Amino acid sequence: MKKTVLITGASSGFGEAIARRFAEMGFSLVLAARRLERLQQLSESLPVNCFLIQLDVRDRKAVERAIDDLPDEFSTIDILINNAGLALGLGPAHEADLDDWDTMIDTNIKGLTYVTRAVLPGMVARQSGHVVNMGSIAGDWPYPGGNSYGASKAFVKQFSLNLRADLQGKNVRVTNIEPGLAQTEFSVVRFHGDQQKANSIYEGLKPLLPADIAETVIWATSLPEHVNINRIEVMPTCQSFSPLAIAR
Ligand code: NDP
Ligand code: 8X3
């Protein structure tokens, strides 16, 4: 029987690439994001059945309704890709816009928990399923300006591990994927629409591409059911570590 994957944040970047890869493999797709027209364009280019949901993951009631109201054909979610998320701002904590912090916390943390909580009972009842959370290297490695964004991804890391603890014996897998620098709409969003500033982040280097992360997701979810990949940290080869900073 065809499996169904629900992807949040499927309207661009990683989510879109992940949708394309699962579609190639014949999965049924439930695609969610706020920009419905982008989901429509995507689904028209895919060779499989898609159910589209215009959804803001920050809206707890809307998330619950969306999962409750899935048509029968799409209601058995075999794989959940909790990918919707964003960074806003790269300034120091003492100058940060609190609205940006609220939005990141509401989306990357709360939204992710709402979708997970809505989908998990079905997986547990069926004793089958896989939750893939989109974390980030920012959840492991601090950097200037990472403040609330990095902290939100550290939540995703620990939440993923704690889900594993709760799901012991339920045959539901949990994987946290932690990409590094990747070229998507991420930086345009982070810099509030400043395309030039966003482009400068990727100038003169070879970043990860959405297809690279899609491949990682496909690998982790295609392994035999008895194999659980807890966490995958992925960087472009050009990215690595700096010495610890010391102010003199
Ligand atoms: P994009 O900006 O290209 O994609 C983000 C996706 O999230 C969009 O589809 C957007 O859809 C969706 N989204 C944002 N807010 C909401 C919301 N409130 N409700 C529903 N959907 C939402 O960036 P990426 O593909 O890079 O980002 C995907 C994930 O990967 C994020 O969680 C990000 O933090 C993470 N990540 C990105 C890295 C990078 O360098 N690019 C590296 C590490 C992790 P819409 O606007 O239509 O709602
Ligand atoms: C995105 C990667 O390094 O820009 O999560 O925070 S980084």
pLDDT in tens, 168-206: 999 999 999 999 999 999 999 999 999 999 999 999 999
Q: Above 90 in pLDDT, residue 141?
A: yes
- Which ligand 1 atom is nearest residue 180's CA? 42
Fold adopted by 4-234? Rossmann fold (3.40.50)
Contact 84, 57 (CB under 8 A): yes
CA of 83 to the centre of ligand 1 (A): 6
Mean pLDDT of 143-148: 98
Residue 56, Cβ neighbours under 10 Å: how many? Answer: 14
pLDDT tens across 123-132, in order? 999 999 999 9
Domain range list for the chain: 4-234
Residue 69 has pLDDT above 80, yes or no: yes
State whether residue 20 is helix, strand or coil.
helix
Q: What percent of the chain has pLDDT over 90?
A: 99
Cα 90 to ligand 1 centroid, rounded to whole Å: 16
Asked if residue 1 has pLDDT above 80, the reply is no
Test site for ligand 2: of 90, 149, 185, most ligand atoms within 8 A of the Cβ = 149
Q: Which residues line ligand 2 (CB under 6 A)?
A: 136-138, 146, 180-181
Which atom of ligand 1 sits closest to the CA of residue 189? 2
Residue 41 Cα to ligand 2 midpoint, Å, equals: 27
Is 202 considered catalytic here? Answer: no
At residue 2, the pLDDT reads 85
- What's the pLDDT band for 21 if we cut at 50, 70, 90? very high
Task: Render pLDDT for 94-138 as a digit per residue (tens, 0 to 9).
Answer: 999 999 999 999 999 999 999 999 999 999 999 999 999 999 999
